[in-house]
Amino acid sequence: MARMILVLKTPEPVQTRDLIPQLLPVLEGLEASIDQQAPAHLSALFRSPPEGLALQLFADVQPQAGGPELDVVVMSREPMGKGAPVTQRAFERLIALVNERAPGLQICFRSDRDGPLPRQQSVA
């Protein structure tokens, strides 16, 4: 099963309830169908053209010392053993749409570039 993570934040601290709405234009670009939406959580389903592979997207707001971050996870049934190329292309499309349609969100971690899991910030 393929699983890729994207962590987004705003340049200035915002309220938890303000992050999920910033992701909605991105989901429109993916033609995603939203299953659940709450102030701090969203789940959706979309397909990767032209293969039609179904992908699940989960977005959760996580509290951080510098303000909340939005963790976005994309999953599919595609095996990671061969690099999950269809899921990888869908993930890259998600990243492009974030840059294009969600200018208030900045990418601070992406698992395809930075490793499988975000580094935990140490508290001094």
Q: What CATH number is associated with residue 22?
A: 3.30.310.80
Is the residue at 11 inside a domain? yes
For 37-96, how does the pLDDT look when each residue is reduced to its tens digit (9 = 90+)? 999 999 999 999 888 999 999 999 999 888 899 999 999 999 988 889 999 999 999 999
Is the residue at 121 inside a domain? no
- 96 token code pair: 């492009």
Is the residue at 118 inside a domain? no
Is the pLDDT reported for residue 123 higher than 70? no
Cβ–Cβ under 8 Å, residues 77 and 92? no
- 36 token code pair: 């659940």
* Domain encompassing residue 17: 2-113
| Paired strand residues for 46 | 55
State the total domains in the chain: 1
Does this model's pTM top 0.85? My answer is: yes
C-alpha span between 112 and 22 (Å, rounded) = 23
